[in-house]
Structure 1
Amino acid sequence: MRVTYLVDPLCGWCNDAGPALEKLARRDDVTLEFAPTGLFAGEGARSMDAQFAAYAWQNDERIARLTGQPFSEVYRSRVLGKTGCMFDSAPATLGLVAVRVTEPTREFEALKAIQRARYVDGRDIGSLPEVGDILRSIGLPAAAERVRTLDDELTQAYRRQIEAARSEMQRFGISGVPALLVGDGTERHLLRGNLLFGRLDLFVSQLQAA
């Protein structure tokens, strides 16, 4: 069973879907692939100000209450408190695409490292040099170098990925992430991302019924 996970590294709900995805990825009957959507890149990016930071933290607190996943005070002070910076998922998404190009089997590992860097360690994943440092720290120097140089191949791969993911979002009427597509090609079916925050056995039964 192929499961495509529509994600954005700046989505708090996507961060907290990690435990369910870990369990899903370990199943022998599931092939998990990632589709970064660039939801908060390009026209979806915006500058960070005090009002938006307060809104983001309020939403993060709600997510933490519902899922039990942490959002650290370091993240609150160093990331949300850094007014004037950009809320832009393009650098982190470029990092994920660079991993796909160089070591595709480690894409999930890279996503988790990037999310942890932001939400736990309070690092700015809206910065290309920071994303490169994160990738290098988990032993992905080739991907880190691709992020640093931003060669044409990586840029084109990034654009293709975003276009493909957004095409699927339009096809299935998806307005936000996380979301899951089950199956291949024209046989794909949509499962809403809220299933990732319940019991795994119920989630798997929904996957098998899709």
Structure 2
Amino acid sequence: MSAPQLIYVFDPLCGWCYACAPALAALAHSWPDRLEMLPSGLFSETGARELSPDWARYAWGNDQRIEDMTGQIFSEDYHRDVLLGKNVRFDSALINRALTAIRAIDPTLEPKLLHELQVARYIKGRNTAEGSVVAQVASTVASLAGQVLDASAFESRLHTDELLADETYTRIQATQRFMNQLNIRGVPQLLLHADGKFEAIDSSELYQNPAPLVDRLRRRLS
């Protein structure tokens, strides 16, 4: 019988996924080899869009509500330079490719890269739909783990590597089939896979102090 696994369904540009970053970090620290990251593609391909003033107002209002409820910071730099920036797309495609690429190097780096890209966007106000930004952050994350990742070459891969694009597309398609099979309608969603069954974890647990969730899951995963 295979060991129990944790499955995390997400999109890099989902504000609620950013809101549960402390919980994801705790899970990744506690079970680095049992955490499976599944990008949903919610805000890529047909889900991507230009950041219009109307969408920016909607997103900022939603972000402020998330901040009030969870304490996760959405900075004014993010509001000004990303949501209200010029020629900015709301598109997680390049982030998804970067996550797929770094997963191939070391799967334990994937949640770390996701978190650092969220910090770059929501706190530092950097446009993470741009390949240069994504590549710089990925290079830094890789270097902290003792891996060498040239930012310029990695940025080129994000735009031109057809194999990486296909792998990312296949991965997202598999996630969407998985979501349909389990009737998952939104992200984030954390699941425990044990004894051949999937147990959905109430998302409200992801927005609180993660210690009780980690303790409960430790009993289940032991």
Which runs of structure 2 are paired with 1:128-167 in the superposition (5 Å)?
Answer: 128-138=131-141, 139=143, 141-142=148-149, 144=151, 145-149=153-157, 150-167=160-177
- SS class of match (1:183): strand
Residue in structure 1 matched with residue 94 of structure 2 by the alignment = 91
Q: How big is the shift at 1:93?
A: 0.9
Segments of structure 1 that go 5 or more residues without pairing to the other structure are none
TM-score (norm. length: structure 1): 0.89
TM-score (norm. length: structure 2): 0.84
Amino acid of the structure 1 residue aligned with 2:111: F
Segments of structure 2 that go 5 or more residues without pairing to the other structure are none
Identity over the aligned pairs, expressed in percent?
34
Q: How big is the shift at 1:32?
A: 1.5
Amino acid of the structure 2 residue aligned with 1:97: T
In the TM superposition, what whole-angstrom CA distance separates every residue of 1:42-96 from its partner, at most 9, and x where no partner exists? 1111111111101100000000011111010000000001144211111111111
C-alpha separation in 2, matches of 1:29 and 1:37: 21
Q: Please identify runs of 4+ aligned residues in structure 1 that moved more than 6 A.
A: none
Which has the bigger relative contact order, CA under 8 A and spacing at least 6? 2
Moved more, 8-17 or 126-135: 126-135
C-alpha separation in 1, matches of 2:39 and 2:201: 17
C-alpha separation in 2, matches of 1:82 and 1:51: 13
- SS class of match (2:149): helix
C-alpha separation in 1, matches of 2:58 and 2:70: 18
The CA RMSD over aligned residues, in Å, is: 2.4
- SS class of match (2:72): coil
In the TM superposition, what whole-angstrom CA distance separates every residue of 1:162-203 from its partner, at most 9, and x where no partner exists? 011111111122221100121169522222422201353553
